[in-house]
Amino acid sequence: MVRAEDEINKEENREFLSCNGFDVIPLICEYLTPQIEETGPHLTLCCQQLLSVVARVGNAKENLVALLEQIDGFRSLVLVRRLLPALGIILLKIKDKSKSHSWDWSLDTVACHLKTLPTPQNTGLEGVERLTLDLTPEAVESLELLDDLVTFLEPLVNFAGIYIV
């Protein structure tokens, strides 16, 4: 991971990422799977950081399309969680004239994943016993996505607040 960060910070590599983000994003996303997240979370974190660099240096519109194509694939919640920081960076870079359309499209795409989150079966648990439902793998994954979604939305809300005032 340290080696990857060193390579990312080289100027010639940043230039490559700025010109080829649309092609690089799908390649990075291939490593954002539940299996790799479980066995090597440092690799998925490195991919997330690389996506953030691509989002910062690349063409915002092209990268937005590439990220939303990946999210639309409904491959895994790990992928969505790891793409959210880069998506936030890109949404803040979009030019004013296309900002509302881009934000609407992005938030609708993310909302589709929220609608498809699994809900635990009602097994007749009551009171404190219901809290055990939060320990199921589906609930843990859903809660992690919701935490990441809050982190994703905070800068966007702060930015939108500037325009509201």
13 vs 118, residue with greater confidence: 13
pLDDT tens, residue by residue, 67-93: 998 988 777 878 888 888 999 889 888
CB atoms within 10 A of CB 94: 17
Structural domain boundaries enclosing 132: 2-119+126-164
126 vs 115, residue with greater confidence: 115
- Over 80: is that where the pLDDT of 34 sits? yes
Cα–Cα separations (whole angstroms), residue 108 to 31, 105, 114, 159, 163: 25, 5, 10, 19, 21
Classified as helix, coil or strand, 84 is: helix
What do you get for the CA distance between the two ends of the chain, in Å? 42
Q: What is the pLDDT of residue 149?
A: 75
The band of 65, judged by pLDDT with boundaries at 50, 70 and 90, is very high
What the block records as the tokens of 74 is 């409904």
Q: What is the pLDDT of residue 63?
A: 92
The band of 125, judged by pLDDT with boundaries at 50, 70 and 90, is low
Phi/psi for 123 (5° steps) reads -100, 15
Q: How many domains does the chain have?
A: 1
pTM attached to this predicted model? 0.76
Classified as helix, coil or strand, 10 is: coil
